[in-house]
Amino acid sequence: MFESAELGHKIKKSDYKKEVPALREELLKVQMELNESAAFQVIILVGGLDGAGRGGTVNLLNEWMDPRHIQTHGMGEPTDEELDRPMMWRFWRALPPKGKIGVFLGSWYTWPILNRAYGRTRDADLDQSLDRAKKLEKMLVDEGALVIKFWFHLSKEKQKKRLKSLEKNSVTRWKVTKRDWKHFKMYDTFREVYEKVIRQTSTAEAPWLIIEGEDACYRNLTVGKQILSAIRERLDQKAQPPQDILPSPLMPSIDNLHVLKSLDMTQSLTKEEYRKKLKKYQGKLNLLTRDPKFKYTSVLAVFEGNDAGGKGGAIRRITGALDARWYQVIPIAAPTEEERAQPYLWRFWRHLPRKSRVIMFDRSWYGRVLVERVEQFCSKNDWMRAYSEINEFEEQLARHRIVVVKFWLATTKDEQLRRFKEREQIGFKRFKITEDDWRNRDKWEQYELAVADMVDQTSTLDAPWTMVEANSKYFARIKVLKTLCERIEAQLKELYEDGVDYLEKPKKKK
């Protein structure tokens, strides 16, 4: 796999000096075109062996190109804030917007490689990490990003020579650390892991470009020309309408029965019953979030439903039970210009909760398979692939001990009409009704089918949907609170049963 990167590739310094000015000029030109068009973003991953010139090449790219439109991220040890979220979060939020270039020195491959080489994980763990990486890159490419991956390689002999050369020179001695020599002693172990990583993740949409790192002139020109060629080719592509795939259609049941039609919409509570249960479950929710073990988990609650389904009212009954310092409600509207410049999940990635926090989304990433599907704001290809992308996202949340609770608040068409008219008549509720609400109502059957498909495709063991019969607001609010308590309680119980070592234990009194 690395044979071509061990041939001793070299470029004469005189030839290098002749080629660099023209290369720099062309790189700046495509960078400006990219920025002006804002048609896509460029994501460059730089990986490879210690001493192979990764850092120097990244620094040179910043020198050759306009630093205003290139973002460089040296991904070292994760911070406490980053450790509170899924591993991918630190990369998700650092993605460049359309029109910009993002360079990652260290990437989503770094820690899986290190953990496997050091024996902290097994092959199965590495395979799972690589699968997540491929899915992320596939989604980024499908969203329009250009992903370029460089791997800098040296043979064992040349790496040793390179490290000794750097160490011998007083000017470059600081570049060589004890860690570098430790990794050199593990060269064969690392190489075995590297080969597996590159073999499994060099895909058609994001292939690895392996570069011999011994000669600086060769590697610098190679990287510069590869970046120039890739961006130029993408810029020169004539704009074409997206080609929609033709997958097997998601057909409605032949007897027209789906999950929404199976709900018992007559369920209700009296005002007295409601008050008693509200007090009970708000108190229980408060105690659960104050449990000592809650500091090792967090809650992400998603609220979707029919317009006027009571999402806001249910959310307020939750916040009424919580300490205002530890929760946040994220209302989702049409994406801003900043958000349109990123993959559709980006505006949700950025709001993931830290440990011991509760985040509530009033509308969510499911807009891709609901509103965007029905209103044709995206192609069939886009919303069809979103099911697996969303499942992957939520699986990563669950793996990180985030409790994902998803509610669909359902009303009948007649009850929705009653609430719409009530909102029009009551002054302080009038702001809640819009022309969009009436237009969406005209597409009731289309939305029902989209909801049924959404539940079928994304209700998983990690993140199941809870269907809430919301014709009675009292009943709906209590069902939401009860479900939330049950899910948090189950998570805390699991922490105990798993015997998690890092749980704090009360100090013994002297």
What is residue 382's DSSP assignment? H
For residues 274 and 480, the answer to whether their CB atoms sit within 8 Å is no
Average confidence score pLDDT of the chain: 92
The whole-angstrom separation of Cα 411 and Cα 447 is 13
> Residue 211: is it exposed, middle or buried by C-beta count within 10 angstroms (0-12/13-18/19+)?
buried
pLDDT at 287: 97
For the cut 50, the answer to whether the pLDDT of residue 212 exceeds it is: yes
Q: How far apart are CA 121 and CA 113, in angstroms?
A: 9
Q: What's the confidence (pLDDT) of residue 510?
A: 40
User: For the chain, what percent of residues have pLDDT higher than 70?
Assistant: 94
Task: Give the pTM.
Answer: 0.90
Mean pLDDT score, 62-86:
93
Q: Would you state the CATH architecture of domain 3-236?
A: 3-Layer(aba) Sandwich (3.40)
Chain position carrying tokens 């800098």: 152
- How far, in Å, CA of 318 to CA of 311, rounded? 11
Chain segment 343-381, per-residue pLDDT in tens? 999 999 999 999 999 999 999 999 999 999 999 999 999
Matching CATH topology for 3-236 and 263-497?
yes
For strands 327-331 and 146-153, give the pairing.
unpaired
pLDDT of residue 342: 97
> What is the dihedral sign for C-alpha 502, 503, 504, 509?
negative
pLDDT for the residue 508 = 42
- In this prediction, residue 270 carries a pLDDT of 97
- Containing 195, the helix (H) or strand (E) segment is helix 187-201
pLDDT at 489 over 60: yes
In one-letter notation, the amino acid at residue 356 is S
Give the residue from 293, 274, 294 showing the smallest Cα distance to 282.
274
Q: What is the mean pLDDT of residues 444-451?
A: 94
Indicate the range of 64-78, 393-407, 488-502 predicted with least confidence. Answer: 488-502
**Residue 245 tokens, joined:** 């795939």
Residue 499: its pLDDT value, please?
A: 65
| pLDDT tens profile 290-337 | 999 999 999 999 999 999 999 999 999 999 999 999 999 999 999 999
507: three-class secondary structure by DSSP = coil
User: What is residue 7's three-state secondary structure?
Assistant: coil
According to CATH, the topology of domain 263-497 is Rossmann fold (3.40.50)
DSSP string, 278-336: HHHHHHHHHHHHTSGGGGG-EEEEEEEESTTSSHHHHHHHHHTTS-GGGEEEEE--SPP
- In the Cβ-directed half-sphere of 166, how many Cα atoms lie within 13 Å? 20
Q: Where are the beta strands (DSSP E) in 114-158?
A: 146-153
Among 355, 366, 362, residue whose Cα is nearest residue 299: 355
Q: Which two tokens stand for residue 167?
A: 């160490």
Q: How far apart are CA 187 and CA 297, in angstroms?
A: 38
Q: Report pLDDT digits (tens) over 255-276.
A: 677 889 999 999 999 999 999 9
Query: CA angle, 482 as apex, 398 and 440 as ends, to 5°?
Result: 80
Q: Is the pLDDT of residue 239 over 70?
A: no
What pLDDT does residue 438 have? 84
End-to-end CA, the chain: 63
Q: With 80 as the cut, is the pLDDT of residue 246 above it?
A: no
* Cα–Cα distance, 396 to 383 (Å, whole number): 20
In degrees to the nearest 10, what's the CA dihedral of 455, 459, 463, 468?
50
Average pLDDT estimate for 127-140: 96
Give yes or no for a contact between 58 and 45, defined as CB atoms under 8 angstroms apart: no
At 502 the pLDDT is 44
pLDDT given at position 503: 39
Distance of alpha carbon 459 from alpha carbon 408, whole angstroms: 11
Distance CA 103, CA 106 (A): 9
Neighbours of 176 (CB within 10 A): 20
- Lookup: tokens for 24: 């720099």
What residue ranges do the domains of the chain occupy? 3-236, 263-497
Contact 76, 114 (CB under 8 A): no
Section 24-28 average pLDDT: 97
pLDDT at 501 > cutoff 50: no
Average pLDDT over residues 13-17: 96
- Do 154 and 212 form a contact (C-beta atoms < 8 A)? yes
Q: Radius of gyration (Cα) for the chain, nearest Å?
A: 27
Give the DSSP letter of residue 508: P
> What residues are paired with 145 via a beta bridge?
none
pLDDT of 242 over the 80 cut: no
Q: Are 297 and 495 in contact (CB under 8 A)?
A: yes
Calpha distance 453→373 (Å, rounded): 11
Residue with tokens 């450790």: 83
* Nearest in space to 42 (alpha carbons), one of 130, 132, 144: 144
Q: Return the exposure string of 229-252: e unless at least 16 CB atoms fall within 10 Å of the residue's CB, then b.
A: ebbbebeeeeeeeeeeeeeeeeee
Size of the chain in residues: 510
CA distances from 14 to 18, 20, 59, 304, 330 (A): 6, 10, 21, 64, 58
Cβ atoms of residues 360 and 329 within 8 Å: yes
Mean pLDDT for 220-229 is 97
Tokens of 295: 């500091």
What one-letter code names the amino acid at 302?
V
Residue type (1 letter), 485: C
Instruction: Report the pLDDT value the prediction gives residue 248, as an integer from 0 to 100.
Output: 58
Q: What percent of the chain is modeled with pLDDT above 90?
A: 82
**Average pLDDT estimate for 428-439:** 78
| Least confident segment among 14-18, 177-181, 287-291 | 177-181
**Residue type for 185, please?**
K
